[in-house]
Amino acid sequence: MGPLVVNEIISENSNLLLAFFIGIGFGFVLEQGGFSSSRKLAGVFYGYDTVVLKVFFTGAITAMLGLLFFSLFGWVDLSLVYVNETYLWSSIVGGIIMGAGFIMGGYCPGTSFCGAAIGKIDAYIFIIGLFIGVLIFGEAFSLFEPLFMANFIGSPRISEFFGISEGITVFIVIIAAVMMFWAGEWAEKKFPREKY
């Protein structure tokens, strides 16, 4: 039964090796999906290309359904699956900063490395900026700490937060994804862009 490391089915070293190969596969899928193109990524915000939105929603639904069914089959104990701790205000401010950077630079941290892997110069510049930001945050952490630690709400799952079952949560996310797919198709027709 999973998680594999927590239940000592595989070692920490095996887990890292497995993560390495999964990461390579993930990067390959990102590149094949066009995520190494800053224009394609920025297209989500301008409405002319919503492939990124569709791929991420598809990934989220696949992972949610997989975990739900693995849990029902007794293959994964969801109570042992790690969920990041949530500090509400730092999450909101961090999301705004990352969103602004995504719009301006055309990359998120993961896709910038995907772009750099195939030699995109703008991705290299984005990564340099990313490391400068990390350095500033690390060196000035004492200034940011009150905001960083503000409004701790634990590690809630969406289902727990709203008091609904995991199955209903997955169903709601699937409905939201279908609506987003429809909205994406509408936006691409409404805001067409010449091929790049």
- Sequence-separated (6 or more) residues with CB below 8 Å from residue 180: 53, 54, 57
Count CA atoms within 13 Å of residue 174 on its CB side. Answer: 11
Instruction: Give dist(CA 56, CA 52) in Å, integer.
Output: 6
Burial class for 140, CB neighbours closer than 10 Å (0-12, 13-18, 19+): exposed
Instruction: Give yes or no for a contact between 114 and 31, defined as CB atoms under 8 angstroms apart.
Output: yes
DSSP-derived secondary structure letter, 141: H
Instruction: Give dist(CA 129, CA 124) in Å, integer.
Output: 9
pLDDT tens digits for the chain (196 residues)?
Answer: 667 777 778 888 888 999 999 988 888 888 887 888 888 888 888 888 888 888 888 888 999 999 999 998 988 888 888 888 889 999 999 999 888 888 888 888 888 888 888 899 999 999 999 999 999 999 999 999 999 998 898 888 888 888 898 889 999 999 999 999 999 889 888 888 766 5
pTM strictly above 0.85:
no
Q: Which residue has the tokens 């997955």?
A: 170
